[in-house]
Amino acid sequence: MSRFRPINREIDYLLPPSVQDWLPESHLARYVVEVVEGLDLSKLESVYAGRGSAAYHPAMLLSLLIYGYATGAYSSRKIERASYDSLAFRFIACDQHPDHDTLASFRRRHGEQFAATFVQVLQIARENQVSRFGTVSLDGTKIHAHASRHSALSYAHAQNIEAQLKAEVQEMLKLAEAADHSDLPDRISLPDEIKRREDRLAALAEGKTKIEALGKERL
């Protein structure tokens, strides 16, 4: 009897996996998508002329960037990569992969509206008694509530909370812009000649042979 569970990466599924099966119900990525898709985005959608090839849906790009920034992924390149190798990002993007230029351009083009939507999402999360939105504290050190969560908030207090959330969002947007200005191309990507699995295995075998030969020469 084997001591280990089998490893089989060649499993063929009878049915394609559903994106709905990728994440638990309580995952933040699901919440972000549900909140954003419940907002009125007609003003944002209206700026798309409808000419040329179909654009990525603004709701998807908003959700992708909001989730990314809220979880500490500020670089557009990092978010692009995550749309391939992170289940949460793949879920949000519906297995589409907007490139880093598209992501950065969307944020810059719709700067004010993007920031306002981000704040609105955080406000809704706080009203839903979400204490932490990724790395953003909604009920902790950064949002100082002077009234009970169950009491009616005064208008002044609500304005104070909104101002703090706006400042939080602006800080994240600055970090995103700085990350995109300093971001370098992906240094861990594989050379084109070894991207295919068969070529990778051959390259690994060749590298192993060379290392073993060098080891023998030293003996």
Whether residue 164 is found in the same domain as residue 218: no
**SS3 label, residue 170:** helix
Whether residue 30 is found in the same domain as residue 109: yes
User: Rounded to the nearest 10 degrees, how much is the dihedral formed by the CA atoms of 38, 44, 45, 46?
Assistant: 130
Residue 30 contacts residue 7 (beta carbons within 8 Å): no
Distance CA 165, CA 78 (A): 24
7 is a domain residue: no
- Return the higher-pLDDT residue of 75 and 216: 75
pLDDT band at 79, cuts 50/70/90? very high
pLDDT tens-place string over residues 123-167? 999 888 888 999 988 875 445 444 444 444 566 777 788 888 999
Whether residue 103 is found in the same domain as residue 92: yes
| E strand intervals along 14-53 | none
pLDDT tens-place string over residues 189-211? 555 655 576 776 777 778 778 77
Q: In this prediction, what percent of the chain has a pLDDT beyond 70?
A: 79
Span 169-192, average pLDDT: 77
173 is a domain residue: yes
Whether residue 178 is found in the same domain as residue 196: no
Whether residue 179 is found in the same domain as residue 211: no
Q: Best-predicted range by mean pLDDT among 16-25, 52-61, 194-203?
A: 52-61
Whether residue 193 is found in the same domain as residue 89: no
